[in-house]
Amino acid sequence: MWTLPHPIRASAHPIRALPHPHTGEGAAVLGLLTLALLGTVLLATAPLRDRPVAGGALAAVGVSVFLVVAALWHHYHRAAARRARPTAPAAVDGRWFTAESLEGFPGAVARGPGAPDRDRLYLAWILATQGHDAAWIGHRLGLPAEVVHPLVDAARERR
């Protein structure tokens, strides 16, 4: 005699939880349906001579609700995009720089008791060869102008 297996115990697939419900989207749809129903009832019960005024009022309410929802949606999505920005890359070290990319680097800038670390100078050199000016490089990397200007001048001569 044939017997049917129990549907839950015989399942080859484990039971999974339902995905997170989108309650905000559901509430928005219910709100729109409610407004549409109220608008239809209002237009149907309004006297014939007042229907254009009631229709205009409903259109104004619809447009204002749309604008408020669009502004809120834009605000929340911009905030989410700001939070989801990628993190900064790992620290720059000497392995990033090849002999070809450092060709023409003024080594005198890297010498001396108060010279910044070599990796920051190499990065400043790469940025200078890409056309960035001394003020921009100094601000971004926290390097003094007397260190950055010779790098930018040498990079201009190289190009």
Tens-digit pLDDT string for the chain (159 aa): 555 555 555 555 566 666 666 677 778 778 888 888 888 888 889 898 988 998 898 889 888 888 888 888 888 888 877 777 655 555 666 666 778 778 888 877 777 677 788 888 888 888 998 889 999 999 988 888 888 898 899 888 877
Whether 153 and 115 share a structural domain = yes
To 10 degrees, the CA torsion angle through 52, 58, 60, 65? -170
Domain assignment of residue 62, yes or no:
yes
Number of domains within the chain: 2
User: CB-based burial of residue 30 (10 Å sphere; 0-12 exposed, 13-18 middle, 19+ buried)?
Assistant: exposed
Last residue of a domain, one of 35, 55, 83: 83
Q: What is the residue range of 154's domain?
A: 94-158
Whether 103 and 61 share a structural domain = no
Whether 116 and 72 share a structural domain = no
Whether 154 and 132 share a structural domain = yes
Whether 102 and 153 share a structural domain = yes
Provide Rg for the chain, Cα atoms.
Answer: 33
Q: How many CA atoms lie within 13 A of 38 on its CB side?
A: 11
Domain assignment of residue 39, yes or no:
yes
Whether 68 and 100 share a structural domain = no
Whether 98 and 143 share a structural domain = yes
